[in-house]
Amino acid sequence: MQDFKESIKNRAMFYFAVIFLLFVIIAFRLLWIQVINSAEYKDRALNQRMREFVVNSERGIIYDNTGRKLAVSLAAKTVVALPDSIIDPQKTAQELAGLLDVNYDTIYRRITSDAAAIFLQRKINDQLHEELLARDIPGIIFIDESKRHYPEGELASHIIGFTGIDNNGLSGLELSYNNYLVGKEGRMAVERDAAGKPIPAGIRESVPVQNGHNLHLTIDQVIQYFAERELKLAEENFDISGGSIIVMDSQNGDVLALANTPTYDPNNFNNYPEKNWRNRAINDVFEPGSTFKIITTAAALEEGVISENDILTDPGHIYVGRHEISCWSDRGHGAHTFANVVKTSCNPGFVEVALKMEKDTFYSYIDAFGFGKRSSIRLPAEADGLLPEYNRIGEVELATFSFGHGLSVTPIQLASAVSAVANGGKLMQPRLVKEVDRGAEQSNLINEPSVVRQVISEQTANKTRELLKQTVLNGTGTQAAIEGYEIAGKTGTAQHYNEDLYDASFVGIVPTENTDLTVLVILYDITGDTYYGSQTAAPVFRNLGENILSYLDVKPDFTQQPGYELSDEKLTVPEIRNLSKFEAEQSLREKGFNVKIQGDGDKIIDQLPKAGALVNKNSTVWLFDDKVENYNVLIPVPDFRGMELEAVKELAALRGLKISSSGSGKVIGQSVYPGRRIKTDQVISLKLQ
């Protein structure tokens, strides 16, 4: 009995010890939870009651230069599944598969996952939203998101670009200005009870949303529409792979229109091939052909190696080394002024002019006009253009550069370069965005017009422009003429290497009341018999120019003088040798000559043309001083055949060539083939009959 009582007592003590130990553990645990680590558990409890929601920001609006909206954000519904609330997953998946852009297996896998909520399809249209609402499918809810919308559809699509499903820019200004447009999403936390309902006096926390900034562009929606319409008409009229048009305000670099074809609708960009998204005016390069002669003309006039009155000779071709470079006219243009070289777009004439400039000089102008590097227009994937390495440029390359072959440029580079001729010689940085509107609390970001550099003098720019007016008035660009307006411009045609494909172009200067517009038209990969820029791009330019002038209400002036007349006054070149450089230049300029001096010496030892030559007023006389290394320049030989001896002597003296003759009458043969370039001390033997 005593043992039994002792056993009971021991058991009681044991259970008491166990209970006491449990009490101590529980007490310690409570102390840990309620005192030592109370803050953590308080946060956990609060988090169980809190529900955080993302508040999407609204992407900024993109406006044209008159305030018309080109890109806006609209409210859109996104379909969300709550797997725990779905009653019949198979039936739900079948029903949704017939309505959404998602197959049955994908939907079923998603709605049976462990996730609390999952996206099924984002940013659906209103019709689908209404249909899903009417079906009232258990476990399917909708949340609000922002959807990008382009109210003008295809208009300016290559400029504006598009956004992805997450509302971030993927192309165009939507991409390059994404950091300004996208804004910052907000967040809101709401305290809920066990049933998931908001607690009226519960804790609410929020991070305010910051909507994106608005962009104000330089683009004019109406001019952009005109440009895109003309490209569509060009597609109907010519066999082309595409085209580009740029309209630029030459004074400030504002791009008023930048159009490409083929195009696409950014609202449904996935429905178009990726090639349609490509902004060829920025991303692609092409050989400019004869439009580049504008650059050659400006550079040569600025350097003083030529004047518009200088006489050049064109037998239909010119030889540079072993290479024959032909004129578009098989018979050539004979002896004609440089003004006529520009007007008729004579390749041999431009080759001769380019070779009068040293490689360093001509290349420096190509660089100064902005070729070979990006224009910084701030659109994605802008190309640099293609220029041969400097040390790989020889005489042949220099010659072909003169008429726009052997180098490739982007349309925006060419438009910017010609704008420098239009505005008095200033290369402007092209501008697409005028202003970023950051709202009332921050100052706006103003993108001021920016002068890159002064490339040529105002005098040279004006003279080049006058020569280009003659091209449109009665030269190769007559199809671009607009009655009542002084249009300056140049056609261009470049053949693809070893292919019957051509890029045709026209770049022109259109005067308005307040500024001058540079308009560039390019048609790519033309096939068929009609491919010259004068036949294709020039008429497109004319139609576009007429629409722009009408829209801007620029009245025609039919009282303007028809053209730029060269003086027919003749001057006899005086003897300048043995005079000082200063005396020689002063004497010639006072008599009405243009002067180009070669060398760094003080005394003139030779001249071209020679003394006694009869030349046009303002013609260029080359002077060589006593420190010039090599003044025996190469002169293209004219075609003397069929000319009387007196006329031959006059032309030879003008060109600084030496001749000898046998027989009488007209020239029937010459010892140096026409177009060959020879030194001035080489004698050309002529046979007369």
Q: Per-residue DSSP letters for 485-533?
A: S--EEEEEEEEPTTSS-EEEEEEEEEE-SS-EEEEEEEEEEEBSS---T
Residue type, 448: E
In angstroms, rounded to a whole number, what is the distance separating the alpha carbons of residues 215 and 160?
11
Region of 49 please: left (phi>0), alpha (psi -120 to 50) or beta: alpha
In angstroms, rounded to a whole number, what is the distance separating the alpha carbons of residues 628 and 622?
12
pLDDT value, residue 209: 66
In angstroms, rounded to a whole number, what is the distance separating the alpha carbons of residues 517 and 489?
11
pLDDT value, residue 122: 75
Residues of the chain whose pLDDT is less than 70? 1-5, 32-33, 35, 37-56, 115-117, 144, 186-209, 560-565, 629-632
In angstroms, rounded to a whole number, what is the distance separating the alpha carbons of residues 223 and 358?
42
pLDDT tens readout for residues 84-133: 778 888 888 887 887 887 788 888 888 887 766 677 877 777 788 788 88
In angstroms, rounded to a whole number, what is the distance separating the alpha carbons of residues 668 and 385?
48
Q: How far is CA 465 from the centre of its chain?
A: 23
DSSP of 82-113: -GGG-S-HHHHHHHHHTTSSS-HHHHHHHHTS
**For residue 665, what are the CA distances in angstroms to 206, 418, 686, 687?**
102, 49, 11, 9
Beta strands at 683-688 and 658-662: parallel, antiparallel or unpaired: parallel
Instruction: Please report which helix (H) or strand (E) contains residue 246, including its range.
Output: strand 242-249
pLDDT tens readout for residues 495-534: 998 888 999 999 999 999 889 999 999 999 999 888 999 9
DSSP of 569-616: -EEEPPP-TTSBHHHHHHHHHHHT-EEEEESS-SBEEEEESPTT-EEE
Tokens of 359: 């490689």
* Vertex 677: Cα angle to 676 and 683 (nearest 5): 90
DSSP annotation of 392? G
CB-count burial class (<10 Å; 0-12, 13-18, 19+) for 114:
exposed
Question: HSE-up of 577 (CA within 13 Å, CB side)?
Answer: 8
Q: Is residue 393 helix, strand or coil?
A: coil
Phi and psi (nearest 5°) for 115? -70, 150
CB-count burial class (<10 Å; 0-12, 13-18, 19+) for 645:
middle
Catalytic residue among 157, 244, 250, 290: 290
Question: HSE-up of 248 (CA within 13 Å, CB side)?
Answer: 33
In angstroms, rounded to a whole number, what is the distance separating the alpha carbons of residues 538 and 525?
16
What sign results for the dihedral spanned by CA atoms 156, 160, 164, 170? positive
For the entire predicted model, the pTM comes to 0.85
Q: Give the count of beta carbons closer than 10 Å to the beta carbon of residue 602.
A: 12
Q: Give the count of beta carbons closer than 10 Å to the beta carbon of residue 317.
A: 20
In angstroms, rounded to a whole number, what is the distance separating the alpha carbons of residues 119 and 99?
15
Beta strands at 502-511 and 488-495: parallel, antiparallel or unpaired: antiparallel
Q: Give the count of beta carbons closer than 10 Å to the beta carbon of residue 235.
A: 16
List 435's β-bridge partners, or say none: 216, 446
Closest-CA residue to 168 (of 159, 156, 157, 177): 177
Using a CB cutoff of 8 Å and minimum separation of 24, what contacts does 366-374 make? 366/295, 366/299, 366/401, 366/407, 368/427, 368/453, 368/455, 369/295, 369/417, 369/420, 369/427, 369/455, 370/413, 370/416, 370/417, 370/427, 370/452, 371/295, 371/407, 371/409, 371/413, 371/417
pLDDT value, residue 186: 66
List 686's β-bridge partners, or say none: 661, 670
- Report whether 626 contacts 597 (CB < 8 A): no
Cα dihedral 82/85/87/90 (nearest 10): 10
In angstroms, rounded to a whole number, what is the distance separating the alpha carbons of residues 60 and 58?
6
Residue 290 known to be catalytic: yes
Phi and psi (nearest 5°) for 642? 90, 0
In angstroms, rounded to a whole number, what is the distance separating the alpha carbons of residues 617 and 593?
6
| Residue bearing tokens 């020039």 | 538
Task: Mention every residue, 6+ apart, whose C-beta is less than 8 A from residue 642.
Answer: 666, 667
pLDDT value, residue 99: 80
Region of 228 please: left (phi>0), alpha (psi -120 to 50) or beta: alpha
pLDDT value, residue 173: 97
